[in-house]
């Protein structure tokens, strides 16, 4: 029955050939299908005090996730659903108060790792819409706790931050050694228990990065200071400075922290043409160019000169249907976070990062490619998907796990990029 309904949907949408505006309208009407409530803990599901948004209306991913929610919130705010965006943000703040950090997702099996630190950006977006300083004061106090997590549990000797699997329990280490190999299309061997455990921790760290799995870290994620993580922490520090100013507190310590971080990133991650992840263990930069390089533009960390160099590197990752998350090079394994896949969050940050620095032609071209790609796939399937193929122009099949319908960040990126291309146009 399910296959028959999907086939019917394909035929219907192929015949009606929906316009970009109609896809935008579909997204607006779909948000309510992704809202869940469970105020109390239920088995592995962590209770949350407010209704929350999940990535998919059905199937997998029926819990709240961390970095997905930033992009989902931007889509909700674009549709005027400020209350739900605030609820989502309040739930993540609750998790920080309860656990000292934001877990990867609201399941107990995620309690050993976090995800890219977007919470300060969520607070900033909600506050921009509500101007509720009482709410901001509480959020500011909680954000201090999350910042402490990153600065104590995820710090390296070089003064920049990393992802880590140091908190992973034995069962998760064992599981990641097996599933990591399966998802990369290989079987790993090891000479000692210590080597086995190190591999499991590196894979856990890579899951914390959100880019599970990718060629950037050479299966040694804990050994790298990633471009995007440190650019997001730079934004965290500047946001905290702004919150402190609004609340009548001293913003200077936060500004100083951001300036020090930028200085270290320029020294260690910048090679004169682009930012690359830094292998702090071996004292060298990665040679993999990835779309993470647009995060310093998105957060405003790059200088105008650096932004110009990064914009030139766009051609190494841009393909007929969009921005691949890594350049096209021979890689030893099958990575889902690599060429030819284009992922909505990196496209979102690239578009708005390029626009921020005045590269509007590039930004608009990437936005049009993403809108066209999603529409093309929607005509064929009647769905919005987790990721797409930037070379072939279709939704990218899930080899690692069953790909569910409409992840929140895919729909949210579409809405925000559509509105960016059509400011003031009615949906």
Q: Does domain 1-30+290-427 have CATH number 1.50.10.10?
A: yes
**What is the reported pLDDT for 4?**
43
pLDDT tens-digit map of 35-49: 999 999 999 999 999
Residue 427 has pLDDT above 90, yes or no: no
d(CA 232, CA 225): 12
Least confident residue range of 21-25, 326-330, 341-345, 397-401: 397-401
Provide the whole-model pTM. 0.94
Least confident residue range of 108-122, 174-188, 253-267: 174-188
d(CA 138, CA 243): 11
Confidence of residue 10 (pLDDT cuts 50, 70, 90): very low
**What is the reported pLDDT for 401?**
57
Query: Counting Cβ atoms within 10 Å, is residue 196 exposed (0-12), middle (13-18) or buried (19+)?
Result: middle
pLDDT tens-digit map of 353-400: 999 999 999 999 999 999 999 999 999 989 999 999 999 998 876 555
**What is the reported pLDDT for 176?**
95
Average pLDDT over residues 248-267: 98
- HSE-CB at 215 with a 13 A cutoff on CA atoms is 21
3-state secondary structure string, 61-111? CCCCEHHHHHHHHHHHHHCCCHHHHHHHHHHHHHHHHHHCCCCCECEHHHC
**What is the reported pLDDT for 399?**
54
**What is the reported pLDDT for 1?**
42
Beta-bridge partners for 278 = 225, 285
**What is the reported pLDDT for 201?**
98
Every domain of the chain and the residues it spans: 1-30+290-427, 37-124
Q: What is the DSSP string of 95-160?
A: HHHHHSS--SBSBGGGTT------HHHHHHHHHHHH--HHHHHHHHHHHHHHHHHHHHHSB-TTSS
Confidence of residue 404 (pLDDT cuts 50, 70, 90): confident
Q: For residue 70, what are the contacts with CB-CB under 8 A and spacing of at least 6?
A: 118, 119, 121, 122
Q: For residue 371, what are the contacts with CB-CB under 8 A and spacing of at least 6?
A: 20, 414, 417, 418, 421
pLDDT tens-digit map of 105-129: 999 999 999 999 999 999 999 999 9
């Amino acid at each position: 029955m399910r296959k028959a309904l999907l086939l019917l949907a394909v035929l219907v949408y192929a015949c009606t050939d929906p316009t970009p505006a109609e896809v935008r309208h579909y997204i607006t009407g779909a948000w309510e299908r992704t809202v869940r409530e469970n105020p109390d803990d239920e088995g592995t599901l962590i209770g949350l005090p407010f209704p929350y948004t999940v990535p998919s209306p059905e199937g997998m991913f029926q819990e709240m996730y961390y970095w997905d929610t930033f992009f989902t919130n931007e889509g909700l705010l674009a549709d005027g659903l400020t209350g739900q965006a605030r609820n989502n943000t309040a739930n993540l703040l609750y998790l920080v108060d309860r656990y000292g950090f934001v877990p990867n997702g609201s399941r107990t099996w995620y309690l050993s790792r976090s995800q890219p630190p977007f919470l300060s950006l969520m607070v900033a977006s909600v506050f921009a819409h509500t101007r509720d300083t009482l709410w901001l004061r509480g959020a500011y106090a909680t954000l201090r706790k999350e910042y402490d997590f990153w600065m104590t549990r995820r710090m390296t000797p070089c003064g920049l931050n990393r992802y880590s699997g140091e908190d992973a329990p034995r069962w998760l280490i064992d599981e990641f050694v097996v599933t990591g190999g399966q998802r990369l299309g290989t079987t790993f061997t090891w000479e000692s228990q210590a080597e086995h455990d190190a591999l499991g921790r590196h894979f856990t760290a890579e899951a914390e990065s959100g880019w599970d799995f990718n060629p950037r870290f050479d299966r040694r994620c804990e050994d790298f200071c990633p471009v995007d993580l440190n650019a997001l922490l730079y934004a965290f520090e500047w946001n905290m400075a702004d919150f402190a100013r609004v609340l009548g507190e001293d913003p200077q310590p936060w500004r100083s922290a951001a300036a020090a971080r930028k200085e270290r990133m320029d020294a260690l991650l910048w090679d004169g043409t682009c930012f690359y992840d830094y292998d702090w263990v071996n004292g060298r930069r990665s040679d993999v160019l990835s779309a993470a390089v647009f995060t310093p533009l998105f957060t405003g960390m790059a200088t105008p000169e650096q932004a110009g160099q990064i914009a030139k590197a766009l051609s190494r990752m841009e393909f007929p249907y969009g921005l691949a998350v890594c350049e096209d090079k021979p890689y030893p394994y099958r990575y889902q976070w690599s060429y030819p896949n284009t992922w909505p969050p990196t496209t979102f940050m690239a578009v708005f990062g390029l626009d921020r620095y005045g590269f509007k032609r590039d930004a608009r071209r990437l936005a049009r490619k993403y809108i066209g790609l999603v529409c093309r796939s929607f005509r064929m399937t009647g769905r919005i998907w987790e990721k797409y193929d930037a070379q072939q122009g279709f939704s990218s099949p899930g080899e690692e796990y069953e790909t569910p319908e409409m992840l929140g960040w895919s729909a949210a990126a579409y809405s925000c990029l559509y509105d960016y291309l059509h400011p003031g146009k009615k949906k």
